[in-house]
């Protein structure tokens, strides 16, 4: 795997990797994610990291030990239909040994200098910070990022999800083109729209009426272990809910398995069909809960929420979200203004 030395300073160094080495995957599997909100471990990182599109890893080393990471995934999202060069930053993490020492704040800015200097195109850099995580917010802000908007975490759950007989899996190239055409039309007024992770494992499904697609979405299977949740409600969720019959079907902190939905489409007036699709996919995968991320001001999220019937788990995540933070290279004031004008699109894969 190709590596490049970016910086050497005292006993710290930064290396750039074209790809993700095995040692870093192990680091990710052992990392506690989150701080102000839920603190969790990603249990199927190994499987998901292999699917990242065009990743470049920047790793902070203390001697031979990795103590901090950031993965820049190169993509081309659209802003109101116009494509832009873009890097989405994932797996921004620090080991317990350097947390609170302001080292990530120091080195995050230096990494961004290197990344910006390498680009000549009009480029958008995208990071995310969990709502309420003031420490990470300051680190990202110090690296030259500013808030663009809030992604709301939404949940869908059923105690006994029912089989839905009229669900179709999208597999043929013609069906994929049909689904993409509908999605591009639906999200043409949104920003940061990309469909890099649609059709993975042929897991995009639709519901049709008289041959017409009326609802569709992609799912990814996710496995987290929740170690802590804040406040009194967090203690109740962690310690009481798992002991309650039925409710523990929806949430087991030691083994929280769920579906992450993205590429969500529904024809106007077919919110019920979308929920039937969600329910059918839970039944198919023998799970009870799902999460999906949508812009706080996304009109489709508002329609889904207004329709209701999302299930019990949604009440526990309704105040959860992530701030989308952006930085720019060679972007005009007018282009940035356009970027800020539209509702945010979210690919769930970027947040699992």
Do the beta carbons of residue 140 and residue 125 sit within 8 Å?
Answer: no
Mean pLDDT of 194-212: 97
Does residue 325 form part of some domain?
A: no
> Is 340 a domain residue?
no
Least confident interval from 18-32, 290-304, 336-350: 18-32
In this structure, what CATH number is given to the domain that contains residue 94? 3.40.630.30
Listed range (28-37, 42-51, 158-167, 239-248) with the worst mean pLDDT: 28-37
Say yes or no: 138 and 266 in one domain: no
Regarding whether 161 and 124 lie in a shared domain, the answer is no
- pLDDT tens digits, 240-263: 888 888 888 998 888 999 999 999
Instruction: Give the position of tokens 């690919």.
Output: 347
Q: What is the pLDDT of residues 165-184, one digit of tens each?
A: 999 999 999 999 999 999 99
Task: Let me know whether 127 and 178 are in one domain.
Answer: no
Q: What percent of the chain has pLDDT over 70?
A: 98
304 pLDDT more than 70: yes
**Among 74, 190, 52, 73, which residue's Cα sits nearest to residue 121?**
74
Whether residue 203 sits in one domain with residue 266:
yes
Any domain includes 37: yes
Same domain, 174 and 211: yes
* Residues 254-297: tens digit of each pLDDT: 899 999 999 999 999 999 999 999 999 999 999 999 999 999 99
159 and 123 in a common domain: no
Helix (H) / strand (E) element for 185: namely: helix 173-186
CB of 282 within 8 A of CB of 158?
yes
Token digits for 233? 């409600």
- Asked if residue 228 is part of any domain, the answer here is yes
Give the residue numbers spanning the domain of 242.
154-317
Could you tell me which residues are beta bridge partners of residue 226? Answer: 40
Same domain, 267 and 313: yes
Show the CA angle centred on residue 75, arms to residues 73 and 79, nearest 5°. 130
- Is the pLDDT confidence value at 37 over 70? no
CATH number of the domain where residue 244 is located: 3.40.630
Q: Domain for residue 336, yes or no?
A: no
118, pLDDT greater than 90: no
Residues 6 or more apart in contact with residue 305 via CB below 8 angstroms: 154
The pTM score is 0.93
Rounded Cα distance between 35 and 269, Å, is 39
Domain stops at, among 113, 130, 147: 147
172 plus 252 within the same structural domain: yes
């Amino acid at each position: 795997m190709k590596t490049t030395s970016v910086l050497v300073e005292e006993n710290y160094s930064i290396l750039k990797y074209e790809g993700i080495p095995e040692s870093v995957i192990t680091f990710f599997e052992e990392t506690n994610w989150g701080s102000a909100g839920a603190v969790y471990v990603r249990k199927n990182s190994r499987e998901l990291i292999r699917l990242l599109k065009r990743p470049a890893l920047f790793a902070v080393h203390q001697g031979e030990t990795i103590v901090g990471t950031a993965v820049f995934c190169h993509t081309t999202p659209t802003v109101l239909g116009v494509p832009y060069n873009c890097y989405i930053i994932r797996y921004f993490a620090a080991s317990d040994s350097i947390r609170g020492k302001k080292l990530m704040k120091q080195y995050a800015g230096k990494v961004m200098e290197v990344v910006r200097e390498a680009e000549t195109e009009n480029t958008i850099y995208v990071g995310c910070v969990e709502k309420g995580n003031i420490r990470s917010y300051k680190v990202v802000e110090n690296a030259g990022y500013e808030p663009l908007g809030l992604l709301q975490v939404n949940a869908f759950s059923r105690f006994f999800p029912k089989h839905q007989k009229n669900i179709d899996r999208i597999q043929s190239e013609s069906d994929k083109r049909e689904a993409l055409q509908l999605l591009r039309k639906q999200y043409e007024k949104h920003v940061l729209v990309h469909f890099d992770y649609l059709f993975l494992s042929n897991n995009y499904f639709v519901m049709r009426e008289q041959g017409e697609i009326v609802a569709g979405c992609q799912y990814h299977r996710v496995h987290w272990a929740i170690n802590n949740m804040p406040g009194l409600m967090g203690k109740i969720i962690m310690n009481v809910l798992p002991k309650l019959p039925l409710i523990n079907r929806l949430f087991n902190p030691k083994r929280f398995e769920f579906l992450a939905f993205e590429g969500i489409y529904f024809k106007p007036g077919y919110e019920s069909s979308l929920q039937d699709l969600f329910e059918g996919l839970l039944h198919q995968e023998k799970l009870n809960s799902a999460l999906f991320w949508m812009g706080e001001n996304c009109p489709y999220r508002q329609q889904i929420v207004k329709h209701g019937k999302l299930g019990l788990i949604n009440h526990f995540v309704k105040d959860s979200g992530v701030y989308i933070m952006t930085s720019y290279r060679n972007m005009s004031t007018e282009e940035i203004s356009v970027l800020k004008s539209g509702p945010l699109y979210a690919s769930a894969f970027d947040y699992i």
